Amino acid sequence: MKVLKEVLLIAAVLFSANYASAQTEDSNSGEVVVLNKEHFLQKVYNYEKNSNKWLYEGSVPCIIDFYADWCGPCKMVAPILKELAMEYKGKIIVYKINVDENRELATLFGVRSIPTFLFVPAKGDPQSAKGSLPRESFVSAIDNFLLKPEQK
């Protein structure tokens, strides 16, 4: 029985590690991807290496949703972001960063209220927006800022 418990514990640890890895590796799958600091440094901006200049690490534009599990407006926007991630699959990536679990990232971007969104083009500087946005605002930001006509 003890061996069975140990095997199940190891299997659970391996499963959760693979799930988290798959969630961040398959970031262009049309799913909303939850980021932590380590994956943020790899996929978005390595501020430890490039502290003086914004340098996007990704190849397609992204939206970053700074949220908290307890936030009502964050919960209202989540289905919109999930829908847009599927609709713009292959063209943009939608990331989420839990501000309660990643305070350093929230501080880095001056997040003082949630939800806060960072719109990151493939080239150029990001822009932010605060508060619960309607779907039309996201679509406009995607079409007119992230996917400029020459990038489509």
Q: Write out the catalytic residue numbers.
A: 71, 74
As beta bridge partners, residue 118 has 64, 128
C-beta of residue 52 within 8 angstroms of C-beta of residue 36: no
What is the distance between the alpha carbons of residues 56 and 95, in angstroms, rounded to a whole number?
14
77 contact partners, CB below 8 Å, separation of at least 6: 65, 67, 115, 132, 133
Task: Report the 10 Å Cβ neighbour count for 23.
Answer: 16
